[in-house]
């Protein structure tokens, strides 16, 4: 297949493709997920969330622009959503939570719950039935990306009549993903940052200042006893999600009642 034919095939919408909503960082995994899902879906609604502590929030919008060039602006709908108020509500008793869990990953939990909640709200308001959080197999060292945790949060999504999509690239390694991104004509990111176990896609995705501690739990530094002391094991992560869930549910119920 020549390049012109390939480009035309990439931008042609499936005849019966449904829309889907994606938690979109603009990084490696979420970009490739869009590319793969556009083979079977008609529209991609890309939601980037700003919890109030992020820099480079426009990075994902630049990546979305590249995707619009490839698939057409009518098929790629991107939004930047402020989740700071909801995240603050979810973590309103942070000091109490810290005394119980003793992990900076509490912040990651609050951000994750706020993002998933807004994904659900957006999908319901726009009549979309499928959502994805862009989870990656490459960072299952912490609970956020782990399939076991994804299974734990699925009931919240299913309870609202939505289908939680399993990431389509979950079974290939990071190097393969980077090669695929490059072959599609996208910026493959910084090789130096990749070697340091920091995301290579900082140019194209927001960076959370309060979530910087995540680096310690996804890099080789996680093996240091002091770092391990402040980790959030899976059983505690599930317990924390369950404890905070009523706050997200109350927010969802109130917002959906307004619609």
Backbone phi and psi for residue 248, each to the nearest 5 degrees, phi listed first: -70, -40
* 258 domain residue, yes or no: no
Residue 102: band (very low, low, confident or very high) from pLDDT cuts 50, 70, 90: very high
Least confident of 1-5, 163-167, 204-208, 227-231: 1-5
Tell me what the mean pLDDT of segment 78-95 comes to: 95
Q: Count of domains in the chain?
A: 1
Asked whether 84 and 51 are in contact (CB, 8 A), the reply is yes
| CATH number of the domain encompassing residue 115 | 3.40.50.620
Q: Which residues, in sequence order, are bridge partners of residue 22?
A: 46, 132
- Domain range spanning residue 216? 3-252
Q: Report helix, strand or coil for 185.
A: coil
Residue 108 has pLDDT above 80, yes or no: yes
pTM for this one? 0.84
Asked whether 232 and 101 are in contact (CB, 8 A), the reply is yes
pLDDT of 1? 37
Asked whether 145 and 108 are in contact (CB, 8 A), the reply is no
Q: Report helix, strand or coil for 213.
A: coil
Q: Between 171 and 236, where is the model more confident? A: 236
Mean pLDDT estimate for the chain: 83
Asked whether 99 and 244 are in contact (CB, 8 A), the reply is no
Residue 243 makes CB contacts below 8 A (sequence gap 6+) with none
Tell me what the mean pLDDT of segment 237-251 comes to: 97
The string over 51-65, giving b where at least 16 C-beta atoms fall within 10 Å of a residue's C-beta and e elsewhere, is: bebbeebebbbebbe
Q: What is the DSSP letter of 210?
A: T
Give residue-wise pLDDT tens across range 20-78: 999 998 888 888 899 999 999 999 999 999 988 877 778 888 889 999 999 999 999 99
Q: Report helix, strand or coil for 44.
A: strand
* 257 domain residue, yes or no: no
* 35 domain residue, yes or no: yes
Give residue-wise pLDDT tens across range 207-243: 766 666 776 666 666 777 877 888 889 999 999 999 9
**CA geometry: angle 24, 121, 138, nearest 5 deg:** 30
* 65 domain residue, yes or no: yes
* 259 domain residue, yes or no: no
* 21 domain residue, yes or no: yes
Counting DSSP H helices and E strands in the chain, the numbers are 12, 7
Residue 106 has pLDDT above 50, yes or no: yes
pLDDT of 5? 37
* 44 domain residue, yes or no: yes
* 54 domain residue, yes or no: yes
Residue 221 makes CB contacts below 8 A (sequence gap 6+) with 215, 227
């Amino acid at each position: 297949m020549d390049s012109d034919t390939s480009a035309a095939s990439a931008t042609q919408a499936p005849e019966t493709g449904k829309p889907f909503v994606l938690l979109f960082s603009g990084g490696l995994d979420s970009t490739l997920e869009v590319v793969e899902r556009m083979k079977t879906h008609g529209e991609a609604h890309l939601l980037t969330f700003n919890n109030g502590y992020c820099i480079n929030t426009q990075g994902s919008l630049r990546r979305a622009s590249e995707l619009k060039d490839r698939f057409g602006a009518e098929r790629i709908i991107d939004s930047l959503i402020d989740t700071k108020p909801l995240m603050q509500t979810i973590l309103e008793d942070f000091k109490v939570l810290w005394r119980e869990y003793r992990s900076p990953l509490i912040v990651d939990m609050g951000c994750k719950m706020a993002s998933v909640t807004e994904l659900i709200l957006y999908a319901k308001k726009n009549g979309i039935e499928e959502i994805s959080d862009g989870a990656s197999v490459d960072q299952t060292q912490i609970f956020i990306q782990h399939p076991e945790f994804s299974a734990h949060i699925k009931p919240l999504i299913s309870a609202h009549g939505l289908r939680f999509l399993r990431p389509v690239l979950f079974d290939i390694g990071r190097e393969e993903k980077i090669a695929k991104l490059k072959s599609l004509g996208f910026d493959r990111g910084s090789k130096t940052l990749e070697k340091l176990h920091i995301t290579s896609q900082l140019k194209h995705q927001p960076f959370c200042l309060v979530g910087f501690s995540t680096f310690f739990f996804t890099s080789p530094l996680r093996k240091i006893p002091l770092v391990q002391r402040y980790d959030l094991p899976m059983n505690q992560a599930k317990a924390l999600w369950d404890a905070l869930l009523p706050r997200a549910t109350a927010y969802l119920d109130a917002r959906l009642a307004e619609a």
